[in-house]
A and B are shown apart, each in its own frame.
Chain A
Amino acid sequence: MVFVGPSLHVTLLPLIGILIVVAGFALRFNPLVVVATAAIATGIAAGHATIDVISAFGKAFIDSRSVPVVWLALPVIGLLERTGLKERARTVISGIRVATTGRLLLAYLALRQITSALGLTSLGGHAQMVRPLIAPMAEAAAEVRWGELPERTRNRVRANAAAVDNIGVFFGEDIFIAIGSILLIRSFLDQNGIHVEPTSLAVWAIPTAVCAFVIHGTRLVLLDRSLKAEIEGGGK
């Protein structure tokens, strides 16, 4: 054992933030409250004065203000929803007879991976694409076959629509050489005296991208069957 005696407190105490997060999420406390508490506790556990901790916390929050920028899409998305955007998205999909929930999401997965690989990550997103377009279309494709969906099935279709957006962008974007993660890898390796070409990093993202498409694509094909069984089985 390396951590013995008083050094235990010195070395492991900053991990209290992780403990608070894990326990708080497990006990289903409000995540915003849990995370803020963990942030303050981590600073105090590291031995800083309370005023310094609150200042550092304030600075970290202010420095991260670009994170929620996607919400700027809400006024126009809300306006379009009010005018029938979701209903229109449903009508369009209902007119395509071969469209099923699984196939539609499979097509979106391919589109999201390919466009992300070309650096076009802003062509997707939960606020701009999934809520107004992809989720209503995926629901409509199921409704054409089975009529009004049970609440449980509807929620499952929506969750799948959100998941496809994530998986598509995660395992597509690294094939693009100027994406954040490639830049991070390069700068980290540079600091350690190793120089690598961004193109070679991007090439080695391709095998995983293919696996992601095969694995999740197969699950989407199976999703149609599973939804059918769920609906015809009376929701049990």
Chain B
Amino acid sequence: MITLEFVNVLMGLMMAGIAIVNVRDTTNRKRYNNAAFWGLYAVTFLAGSHLPNFVNGLLVIAMVLIVAIGKLGGAPSEQTSRADREVSAAKWGNRLFIPALTIPAVALLGTFTLKGLQVNGVPLVDPKQVTLISLGLATSVALMVGMVMLRPPASAPIIEARRLMDAVSWAAVLPQMLAALGAMFALAGVGPIVAGILSRWIPLDTRFAVVATYTIGMALFTSIMGNAFAAFPVMTAAIGLPLIVHRFGGDVVVMAAVGMLSGFCGTLVTPMAANFNIVPAALLELPDQNAVIKVQIPTALMLLTANTAIMYLFVFR
């Protein structure tokens, strides 16, 4: 059976390759820092499933120390000039889109077809991880299509991956680090403590106050945790179910659906939701790491108001 370990190996090999390209780049003064950072990251993918948790913890701490003390070097400039790329773009035309669109096409195809596939009664692909494994497969297929079509030097993909990865730099690891923080929050019982404070300190004796506390609380708590999925069970257990549904007789479906979407408004405004907000700023090489958040704030506020109105109007029908 193909499991998530397949994706881990792909990630590990890519990170190891990026570390090697960095070591060999004598123009980068921080090359050993970058190489050590991506190299350690590669180890967590290739060996993480077999190492003791304590060793994995130390590996991650070492990565963080490299960033904190040694700092990482920036990305190298592009290997081809803009003029070269204009010529090449004119030569290949719209065929250049084929490998790029292969990624979503194969990912979708895989998600739909691999789920039911069995060999000797055993599922070919871990049914719980079909989407992620399909995405891993899709990127591999797209790379093969690109290599066959464009016939670049064999080292081109990993050199280019290194250029993009070093542009994103430590931000590439931030979403995963935040997921780990969320797990530590859960371990320490942070959610119930915050919900307890909220429900004690805010007067909740009218329908509107309860609805507004729930929607705004979802957005606020999501922006602290970086994830509406972490906020939903806590806020709904503290306010949604006991007050909106049980005390005031609200509809559980409207409460839950609109409550989750209120949380998403919080996701739009927080650096804690790094994969949506900080990573794209790094990926698009924006000097302000909060540039994407700043664009999203007005929409998030208006939409949170709309959600509060929707819930107030429809939950008590």
Q: Which residues of A contact B (CB under 8 A)?
A: 2, 11-12, 14-15, 17-18, 21-22, 25, 30-33, 35-36, 38-40, 42-43, 45-46, 48, 51, 54-88, 91-92, 120, 122-123, 126-133, 135, 155-156, 158-163, 165-167, 170-171, 174, 180-181, 184-185, 188-189, 192, 194, 196, 200-202, 204-205, 207-208, 211-212, 215-216, 219
- B299 close to A (CB within 8 Å): yes
- Sample of 8 more A-B contacts, CB < 8 Å, known A86-B85, A166-B277: A55-B53, A64-B176, A73-B142, A75-B139, A75-B157, A76-B146, A128-B104, A204-B254
How far is it, in angstroms, between the C-alpha of A64 and the C-alpha of B136 when the chains are bound?
16
- The reply to whether A159 and B164 form a contact with Cβ atoms under 8 Å apart is no
List residues of chain A with CB within 8 A of the CB of B108: 120, 122-123
- The reply to whether A33 and B143 form a contact with Cβ atoms under 8 Å apart is no
Q: For B299, give its contact among A12, A167, A188 (CB under 8 Å).
A: A167
Q: For A30, give its contact among B67, B89, B178, B188 (CB under 8 Å).
A: B67
- B122 close to A (CB within 8 Å): no
- 10 A-B pairs whose Cβ atoms sit less than 8 Å apart in the complex: A18-B190, A36-B64, A42-B190, A55-B53, A56-B187, A66-B129, A69-B135, A73-B103, A76-B142, A135-B284
Known contacts A18-B190, A77-B164: A67-B53 contact under CB 8 Å: no
- The reply to whether B279 and A126 form a contact with Cβ atoms under 8 Å apart is yes
The residue in chain B whose Cβ has the minimal distance to the Cβ of A130 is B280
The residue in chain A whose Cβ has the minimal distance to the Cβ of B111 is A122
Q: For A155, give its contact among B11, B241, B287, B298 (CB under 8 Å).
A: B287
How far is it, in angstroms, between the C-alpha of A28 and the C-alpha of B55 when the chains are bound?
29
Which residues between 45 and 78 of chain B lie within 8 Å of chain A, taking CB atoms?
45, 48-49, 52-61, 64, 67-68, 78
**How far is the CB of B47 from the nearest CB of chain A, in Å?**
10
Which of these binds chain A: B27-35, B92-100, B202-210? B92-100
**Chain B interface size range:** 35 or more
* Minimum-distance CB pairs A-B, first 9: A78-B160, A58-B57, A84-B89, A58-B56, A60-B183, A46-B188, A64-B179, A54-B57, A204-B257
Q: For B143, give its contact among A79, A159, A189 (CB under 8 Å).
A: A79
How far is it, in angstroms, between the C-alpha of A140 and the C-alpha of B198 when the chains are bound?
48
Q: For B11, give its contact among A39, A55, A65, A127 (CB under 8 Å).
A: A65
- The reply to whether A65 and B143 form a contact with Cβ atoms under 8 Å apart is no
Q: Which residues of B contact A (CB under 8 A)?
A: 4, 7-8, 10-11, 14, 44-45, 48-49, 52-61, 64, 67-68, 78-80, 82, 84-90, 92-94, 96-97, 99-100, 103-104, 107-108, 111, 129, 131-132, 135-136, 139-140, 142-143, 146-147, 150, 152, 156-161, 163-165, 170-185, 187-190, 193-194, 200, 224, 228-229, 232-233, 236-237, 241, 252-254, 256-258, 260-261, 264, 267-268, 271-272, 274-281, 283-284, 286-288, 291-292, 294-296, 298-299, 302-303, 306-307, 310, 314
Task: Give the most central of A45, A60, A67, A189: most B CB within 10 Å.
Answer: A60
How far is it, in angstroms, between the C-alpha of A83 and the C-alpha of B156 when the chains are bound?
11
Task: Give the most central of A15, A54, A63, A207: most B CB within 10 Å.
Answer: A207
How far is it, in angstroms, between the C-alpha of A161 and the C-alpha of B60 when the chains are bound?
32
- The reply to whether B181 and A58 form a contact with Cβ atoms under 8 Å apart is no
- The reply to whether A184 and B179 form a contact with Cβ atoms under 8 Å apart is no
Query: Secondary structure at chain A's binding surface: helix, strand, loop or mixed?
Result: helix
List residues of chain A with CB within 8 A of the CB of B258: 204, 207-208
How far is it, in angstroms, between the C-alpha of A171 and the C-alpha of B142 when the chains are bound?
29
Q: For A42, give its contact among B174, B184, B274 (CB under 8 Å).
A: B184
Q: For B172, give its contact among A71, A73, A79, A215 (CB under 8 Å).
A: A71
Known contacts A162-B292, A215-B299: A14-B103 contact under CB 8 Å: no
List residues of chain A with CB within 8 A of the CB of B254: 204
Q: For A65, give its contact among B8, B80, B174 (CB under 8 Å).
A: B8
List residues of chain B with CB within 8 A of the CB of A196: 252-253, 256
The residue in chain B whose Cβ has the minimal distance to the Cβ of A211 is B306
Known contacts A79-B152, A127-B283, A205-B257: A219-B299 contact under CB 8 Å: yes
- The reply to whether B233 and A62 form a contact with Cβ atoms under 8 Å apart is no
How far is it, in angstroms, between the C-alpha of A91 and the C-alpha of B97 when the chains are bound?
13
- The reply to whether B267 and A170 form a contact with Cβ atoms under 8 Å apart is yes
Q: For A78, give its contact among B68, B163, B173, B314 (CB under 8 Å).
A: B163
- The reply to whether A79 and B160 form a contact with Cβ atoms under 8 Å apart is yes
